[in-house]
Amino acid sequence: MIKLLYLEASPRQDNSYSSRVAKAFLDSYRERNPDHEVEHLPLFDRELPAFGAEGANQKMDNIMNLFTGGSGIEVEGEWAGVMQEIERLKSADKVLLSSAMWNYNVPYRLKHWIDLVVQVGASVMVNEKGEYVGQITGRPLQMIIASGSPYEDRFPLESDGSKTDFMRPYLDHIFRFLGFTDIRCLRVMPTGIPSPETEDMVARCEEQARAAARVF
């Protein structure tokens, strides 16, 4: 069965603009694909596996093990949590990510998930030329990002001053590193000051999301 993994990275539930637009996307997606499975991972409501000293040391041991001709370390302790989250991502044919912008980047719960699944030696391998090769390939990613202020879709420029978007280029980079090439992004912004204009903007985003879901 085709599976869509939905990562939700705002804790604000009904008040969240990114979740609201993602809901429009999912309603439209489900209508068109009633037989597809949707796995919902609300990152603020689920305890993700820990990744601390043990996991970080296991990661480096695993790289050394592979580098010296081994087939990887024992899957136990924190490394088992890492493998569990990588397997969850690998089991998905499509990925939907909705997220708030916090302090010009991703909220910490999404960074926690990223620090679990992005692992050289597991989800990203190194070839004979020393190049990184992402292992999570052939899947489209739809991102829906909400921010209080508006931002340009480009790599940060010095002239962006105190309003610099590190989030979209970071997410773009991290998912390309994992092996994604089909990355679509819908931005819900500016949400900072609720007003009739904000509601109009969100309604337009919901319409775009429904259209995006029809070709996802």
Spatial contact of 43 and 6, defined as CB atoms under 8 Å apart: no
Instruction: Examine residue 18 and tell whether it contacts ligand FMN (CB under 6 A).
Output: yes
Pick the closer one to ligand FMN by CB: 87 or 207: 207
Pick the closer one to ligand FMN by CB: 12 or 90: 12
Name which of residues 190 to 209 contact ligand FMN (CB under 6 A): 191
Tokens representing 121?
A: 């030696």
Name which of residues 58 to 77 contact ligand FMN (CB under 6 A): none
Name which of residues 114 to 143 contact ligand FMN (CB under 6 A): none
Residue 199: HSE in the Cβ half-sphere, 13 Å Cα cutoff: 2
Instruction: Examine residue 147 and tell whether it contacts ligand FMN (CB under 6 A).
Output: yes
Instruction: Examine residue 108 and tell whether it contacts ligand FMN (CB under 6 A).
Output: no
Q: Is the peptide bond before 11 cis (omega within 30 degrees of 0)?
A: no
Spatial contact of 209 and 186, defined as CB atoms under 8 Å apart: yes
Q: How far apart are CA 66 and CA 121, in angstroms?
A: 7
Give me the count of residues in the chain.
Answer: 216
- Binding residues for ligand FMN, rule: CB under 6 A, are 10, 12, 16-19, 100-104, 146-149, 191
